[in-house]
Structure 1
Amino acid sequence: MKQYLSTLAVLVAVSASLTGCAGSGTSSGISGKALADCKAAASDAVDALRAVPELYIPAAAAKGAVAPGKSVWVVNLLSNDLTNNITTGIKAAASALGMEFHELNGNGTAQSANQALSTALGAGADAIVTSGIDASIASNPLQKAKSAGVAVITILADDVDAPIDPLVYADLTLSADYVGKAYADYALHRTGCDLELGNVSLPASIPLSNEVGKVTEGEVTRLCSACAVHTIEMDVANLATGLPTQVQSMMKQHPGINYLAVGFDSAVPFAGPRAQRINKDVTLISANGLAPNLQMIKNGGVQDADMSFPPNDYIGWLAVHSVLAALSGTPGENQRIPMRLIDKTNIENSALTSLYPTYDGFQAAFEKAWGLS
């Protein structure tokens, strides 16, 4: 009995730390049944988000025999930890298939991205994989790729449920509804439904980011009518110099902000510390599952949760699966990248391979699907 009571006390303490420390613990706007319903709904949603996803290998036919001698070009709008990790996966998968691999960088601007795509087409690319680039900023080279029969696979261009853009073969991406609600539900959970959220978003011109922001605000309002959301759009080409100032201005304009949702992990070092200069108790959720961010969660830093992808090189192999499917003549379809909520309750250590045990050896699973083993 003594051990039971001791364990119960620990669980109560952990629960209190997870649901109350980012806010005041009592809602100044909703109370009674509305407050209880909000807390229960947010808690249930967070529990489900923490579950380990099953390994996902698309069923679409992708024949490894069509790959040898073909070339795949990678064009990233931005070079950061996520895109670098994904590119590493693409390179490894291409090597396993006997494909040529080339990489170009869009340097954060539409002009550079268009030039990089044109370079890949001029060099005779058989397939192109892009990240952060869609037809809204690169319609001319993508139209040329379509006319030349070059398959273009985009990563994180639009919502997974959006129709496939006619200029691309498929988009490997996430569900805006899933991520937007996850951001809102976790923020409500952490603040005990006493939330004033600072939403640090990618530009609204990026369709996926725009939709995630709308869903986040809608979910907050649905569960907590008195809670508030304030949004700023980061300048992705000038994160290091611009974002700290943007966050500081938002925090000073809205001093009640007690939690942040940040668009992607690489932006956290520029957003989180500046926010805590204004309010030392502010913490945040972000997305991608980069190692430094997961370590921050483990160490109790400004980031306390992450909507994490699997090991990021898995996304690269998933992209090459779509390349093979295109070269095999299989109709294109968007692919949803699996995600898992990581926080203090389930992090244990910051290695994605341990946080995604079902993804151990995913490379062999792809090779089997491609007929290589």
Structure 2
Amino acid sequence: MQIQRGIARRGAQILAIAGVLLMASTAVGCSSVSDGANAGQGKTDQAVIDAAAQALKAASTNATTLPQTKPLSGSVAGKKIVYLEAGFQTANLIGDRLVQAAGLLGMHVQRINIGLTPDTVAQGASEAVRLKPDAVMIVGFGPEFYQEQAKALTAAGIPIVGLGYYGCDTVRIKCTGNQVPVLANTFGPPEGDAAGKLMASKVIVDSKGAATVAYFGAPDLTMDQAVRGGFKSTIGKCAGCTVDYVDIQAQSIGTDLPSQIVSYLQSHPKTKWIAAQYGDLLIGVPEALKAAGISGVRIVSQSDSAAQFEDMEAGGPIVMDVPAAYGYLAYESADIIARALLKQPIDPKTIPQPERVLTKGDVDLSDAGYYPGVVGYQDLFKKLWTQ
């Protein structure tokens, strides 16, 4: 298919923002760590390959129904949502779709630009407390960035819906220690874990259980915990796979990371698979591999952006992505907010977006240049809200 061009690269991918801002180290480089890596000294059981193939098959078609099936009972007309809008492209897209969804429900959305720094996030959250809305939504930043404000909002009975960070909530992700929960984190650790498992499944199936693979992840991007964990749990079943976990610094993304990956592959010529924590790690990588004369390497990732999808469609090294459905998640967040305001229970099983893998010839960016999640999700949610 023809990839929509002219889409600006995501200045800061949602799942990465919080981790980037939390970085303590300024050193650039990568290090190979054992981290329980597979030795690849056995033969992979066919049942493992079959299970991986089944997982990919189950995620190979677009969903046409919503996980949520219960009509909304009651009206939230006149309610106000404060949307704390981070300073990157996908946060703007989500905001636009949130306004659209809220409008269908009769709610008003006030958007507050919170930038990309801890100080501006906290300032925006303080403004949300002052405004006393009926609900708050925030993308990319967990409550650790606005802890006192989150406590104040919660104490006032104002629900918070988050999206795209490694953190807990009151619906499905248990909190530990001093974590402050939001009502729901609609794209968090469970989604990262699922993406990592699907990435590993692709490696297992296409290599027939005999891959030599390097997983590149940035521990200072907090969602790496989930993606790496899911990848490790599935690839660990592949007795014939050899796996190396390579830690990189987040600030190398889009700068010298392509040269680091080239250097790694040159010093590890048997490595024919790369798994990248998320799509922006791959900025410039296909071009760098070509310039270095490296061929035969295949790459899997999650939450890619337009440039990576273009490489996939052109037959480049990127062979699979596990996408995020930003517009769908905005509508889902509006639905969750409405149900919370109406004191209706929120089933944790309805929160995860349907799992999907995208490969060459199957790249669906029909939702204004992004993956839709569920075909016709706008009309489907509208039907739930108007029955």
Q: TM-score range by the shorter chain?
A: 0.7 to 0.9
CA spacing shift, 1:262–1:352, aligned 2, 3 Å: farther
- What secondary structure sits across from 1:342 in the alignment? coil
Give unmatched runs, 5+ long, in structure 2: 1-38
Aligned-pair CA distance for 1:317: 0.5
The 1:43–1:66 alpha-carbon spacing in structure 2 relative to 1, beyond 3 Å, is: closer
The match for 1:163 is 174
Output aligned runs, 1:208-223, within 5 Å.
208-223=223-238
Query: Partner of 1:119 in structure 2?
Result: 127
**Structure 1 CA distance, aligned partners of 2:77 and 2:266?**
55
Q: Secondary structure at the match of 1:305?
A: strand
Residue of structure 2 in register with 1:340 after alignment: 356
Q: Kindly tell me: are residues 287 and 327 of structure 1, through their superposed partners in 2, closer, same or farther at Cα, counting changes over 3 Å? A: same
How far residue 315 of structure 1 moved from its aligned partner, in angstroms, is: 1.3
Shift in Å, 1:259:
1.9
Task: Supply the distance in 1 between the matched residues of 2:73 and 2:202 (Cα, whole angstroms).
Answer: 41
Contact 2:137 2:160 in 1 (8 A): yes
Q: Report Cα offsets for 1:271-291 as digits up to 9, x if no partner.
A: 444455553332322223645
User: Alignment partner for residue 327 of structure 1, among 331, 338, 341?
Assistant: 341
Per-residue deviation at 1:69?
Answer: 4.7
Q: Contact between 2:280 and 2:304, CA under 8 Å: does it hold in 1?
A: no
Percent identity reads: 19
**Cα gap change, 1:217 to 1:130, in 2 (>3 Å):** same
The aligned amino acid for 1:337 is Q
Out of 79, 83, 95, the residue aligned to residue 88 of structure 2 is 79
Name the structure 1 match of 2:283.
269
More displaced, 85-94 or 163-172? 163-172
Residue in structure 2 matched with residue 287 of structure 1 by the alignment = 302
Aligned-partner Cα distance in 2 for 1:315–1:68 = 22
Kindly indicate whether the alpha-carbon contact (under 8 Å) linking 1:298 and 1:349 is maintained by their aligned counterparts in 2. Answer: no
* Pairing of 1:1-373 with structure 2 (within 5 A): 29=40, 34=44, 36=46, 38-59=48-69, 62=72, 65-76=75-86, 79-80=88-89, 82-158=90-166, 162-163=173-174, 167-173=181-187, 174-203=190-219, 206=222, 208-224=223-239, 226-235=241-250, 239-241=253-255, 243-244=257-258, 246-248=260-262, 250-251=264-265, 254-275=268-289, 277-278=291-292, 279-288=294-303, 290-310=305-325, 312-332=326-346, 334=348, 335-344=351-360, 347=362, 350-351=365-366, 359-371=374-386
Residues 37-71 of structure 1, C-alpha deviations (whole Å, 9 max, x = no match): 55444333322331433421525674562232513
**2:283 is aligned with what amino acid?**
P
Go from structure 1 to structure 2 and tell me whether the alpha carbon gap of 1:364 and 1:45 turns closer, same or farther (over 3 Å shift).
closer
Distance 1:210 1:118, change over 3 A: same
Whether the 8 Å CA contact 2:304–2:323 is kept in 1: the answer is yes
Segments of 5+ residues of structure 1 without an aligned counterpart are: 1-27
Look up the SS of the partner of 2:296 in the other structure.
coil
1:15 is matched with which residue? none
Distance of 1:303 and 1:204 partners within structure 2: 24
2:341 partner letter: L
- What TM-score do you get using the length of structure 1 for normalisation? 0.75
Name the CA distance, whole Å, in 2 between partners of 1:233 and 1:162: 27
Shift in Å, 1:343: 1.1
Q: TM-score, normalised by structure 2?
A: 0.73
- Cα RMSD, aligned residues only: 3.5
Distance 1:130 1:201 in 2: 25
SS at the partner of 1:128? strand
Give me the whole-angstrom Cα distance separating, in 2, the residues matched to 1:247 and 1:64: 54
Q: Find the counterpart in structure 2 of residue 6 from structure 1.
A: none
TM-aligned CA distance change 1:229 to 1:238, over 3 Å: closer
Letter in 2 for 1:187: V
**1:330 counterpart SS class:** coil
Change (3 A) 1:257 1:323: same
Q: What count of residue pairs does the alignment treat as equivalent? A: 338
Measure, in 2, the Cα distance between the counterparts of 1:65 and 1:361: 23
Query: 1:265-310, CA deviations, whole angstroms, 9 ceiling, x for partnerless residues?
Result: 3443244444555533323222236454433322212321111244
Matched residues in 1 for 2:369 and 2:144: separation?
A: 38
CA distance in 2, matches of 1:134, 1:159: 6
Deviates more, 1:62-71 or 1:322-331: 62-71
Q: What is residue 5 of structure 1 aligned with on the other side? A: none
Task: Report the CA distance shift for 1:233/1:145 in structure 2 as closer, same or farther (over 3 A).
Answer: farther
| Alignment deviations for residues 111-150 of structure 1 (CA, whole Å, 9 cap, x no partner) | 4332332233333333222222223443222112212222
Q: As a proportion of its length, which structure holds more helix?
A: 1
Q: Distance in 2 between matches of 1:256 and 1:105?
A: 47
**CA, structure 1 residues 209+362, in 2 after alignment: closer, same or farther (shift >3 Å)?**
same
Which amino acid letter does the alignment assign opposite residue 217 of structure 2? S
Partner of 2:19: none
Alpha-carbon deviations, 1:86-126, whole Å to 9, x = none? 23311211233343323345544434332332233333333
Q: Is the 8 A contact 1:282 1:302 kept in 2?
A: yes
The verdict on how the C-alpha distance between 1:358 and 1:213 changes in structure 2, with shifts beyond 3 A counting, is: closer
State the distance in 1 between where 2:373 and 2:95 align: 22
